[in-house]
Amino acid sequence: MKWTDVKKDISSISQEDKNLIELTALLASLRKEKKMTQKELAEKVHVSQAQIARVENFSYTPSLKTITKIADGLNLELAFRDKTTKKLVKN
């Protein structure tokens, strides 16, 4: 399933699922921006290329551990933002 297909039906999706879709789409976009193949990312984070593809195609709901591995493989760190103040919350 492609992002454009998902966007058509997004109004019936829960906020949690919308957030997950946006996050996985962002990770795929950033991987492509870095000119990294799915295989290269998979090797870097020790998962299969098929698992990266399933995450990017929304056919698999990744665990937080998998999301963290992918983010780390893209040299990203996960952070939280306070909804009220809009400030990043870091440990």
Q: Is the pLDDT of residue 76 over 90?
A: yes
Domain extent, residue 37, equals 3-89
Q: What is the CATH number of the domain that holds 11?
A: 1.10.260.40
As a dihedral over the C-alpha atoms of residue 71, residue 76, residue 82, residue 85, rounded to 10 degrees, the angle is -150
**How confident is residue 51, by pLDDT bands cut at 50, 70 and 90?**
very high
Q: What is the pLDDT of residues 22-50, one digit of tens each?
A: 999 999 999 999 999 999 999 999 999 99
Question: What's the domain count of the chain?
Answer: 1
